[in-house]
Amino acid sequence: RRELDVTDPDACRRLLASQAPDAVAHCAAYTDVDGAEGNPPAALEVNARGAGHVARAATEVGSLLLYPGTDYVFDGESEDTYTPDDPPRPINAYGRSKLAGERAVREAGAPWLIVRTSWLYGRGGRSFVDLVRERAGRGEELRVVDDQAGRPTWTGSLAPALVELLERGPKGPGGELLHLADRGTTTWYGLAREVIEREGLKGSARPVSTEEWGAPAPRPRNAVLDIATGEAALGRPMPHWTDSLGRYLERGRS
């Protein structure tokens, strides 16, 4: 926001006109899932309208636009993994705002690449992994949901992959929709336990159900993306989430 307010269409046009980039990675987003449930217009303003402003500005200068999407565009009722061909049915305001952002990007006219990903953590924000490390490091017992499944994904493994996909460009009329995340699946409890064990923390994690946790926004029980399309486009496999987590935690100790 310090460099560009994506909710300001004129600011988006001015910046892209001054830079005329070959490609734009639009990673700005409203990511507070529970906050979005209490204030849907705020999420829509950034995730949908903001995406549209950036996409139209990219169209005017002929830039390729990359838009990172989310596994939360699905309802989680499937017993299988979700492919890009599966119809999205978001069950919370955050997911609806991100799906609206996808549509805004598609309709803007710029060549586009939408890459849905999952359960991100990494530098530059206070992620679930950081929260577990902080609280379990103080010796706390954490109540963690154990009936929601997904693919934890380190931004350190995703970001280079996105750059490679940008260099490759979309394959398809107008653009391309892909799914990409680290390999392997777990629950939030499984992820928390892995962090605690790897770091040798004093605290512990106790599994609870989604109902017991009682978050304001509903979450999909199964948010596991089928990443075959993304890996095929990338031309290589993504790392397993446990390997990525180990690298992230090791960097945090150095």
Catalytic residues: 94
| Sequence-distant (≥ 6) Cβ neighbours of residue 217 within 8 angstroms | 33, 34, 36, 37, 92, 93, 94
Tell me how far apart the alpha carbons of residues 198 and 165 are, in angstroms, rounded to a whole number.
32
Tell me how far apart the alpha carbons of residues 142 and 136 are, in angstroms, rounded to a whole number.
7
Reported as type and span, the H/E element at residue 99 is helix 93-108
Question: Facing residues of 65 across strands?
Answer: 24, 112
Tell me how far apart the alpha carbons of residues 101 and 55 are, in angstroms, rounded to a whole number.
10
Q: Do residues 223 and 118 make contact, with C-beta atoms less than 8 angstroms apart? A: yes
Residue 71 per-residue DSSP state: G
